Amino acid sequence: MKLSKQCLFLSLLLFSFTLLGQEKWSLEFKPGLNFPSTEIGETNLETGFGFELIGGYSLSPQFDVYAASGWNQFTTKETSINGERDVKETGFSLGLKFKDPFLNFVKTSYVLNVGGIYNNLEVEDRLNETSEDTGYGLGWQASVGLEYLIAENWSLRPELKYRSLSKDFKYLNITESIDHRYISFGIGLAVSF
């Protein structure tokens, strides 16, 4: 019995080294600017900012699956009694990435992503008190970008992304449907292992 456990442990250890040696995993930090294309109710949003932490797994040389967690903030142009308000978006995404060499350049690939999002929107005043909350809901995103290898296992990933989330805001017993859509530009730093 001990020998079979040791063989199982050794097999798993060798398998994990094989996975590490193939550089199938990636981890990316991507800050970015967000340009809203819609209003939330009658509230105009200004350019926002945020970041994502993205984990990926390579299914083949051209296809990856990814999962991400992100945080984004938009300042509103309107003011309330407590001053300006912020719209904060938090949530998760899951999707598929396609990449292929760009014009046969060795270090550069173009990248196409498509996926689903599971996000929440909150309206907060400058005292960080939440006045409105959508709860989590499903949406979608699509993006196009480049991946440029800057060192062994390290790459820069500029990306232009479109994101859409339709939810209901509930405030003072009033429910309002909103469509939150924006374009985001970010540059990620990724490591493969």
Q: Which residue has the tokens 């290898």?
A: 149
Between CA 26 and CA 55, with CA 162 as vertex, the angle to 5 degrees is: 15
Query: Is residue 96 within 8 Å of residue 115, measured between CB atoms?
Result: yes
Query: Is residue 75 within 8 Å of residue 43, measured between CB atoms?
Result: no
For the stretch 113-151, pLDDT in tens is 999 999 998 888 776 677 778 889 999 999 999 999 999
- Cβ neighbours of residue 18 closer than 8 Å, sequence gap 6 or more: none
Domains annotated for the chain, with CATH where assigned, are 23-192 (2.40.160.20)
The torsion defined by the Cα of 8, 13, 18 and 22, in degrees rounded to 10, comes to 130
Q: Which residue has the tokens 């440029």?
A: 148
- Residues 25-33, mean pLDDT to the nearest whole number: 97
Residue 155: pLDDT band with limits 50, 70, 90: very high
Residue 17: pLDDT band with limits 50, 70, 90: very low
Residue 175 CB burial class (10 angstroms; 0-12, 13-18, ≥19)? exposed
Q: What's the whole-model pTM score?
A: 0.81
Phi, psi of 11 (to 5 degrees): -65, -45
Report the Cα 137 to chain-centroid distance in Å: 15
Where is pLDDT greater, at 176 or 21? 176
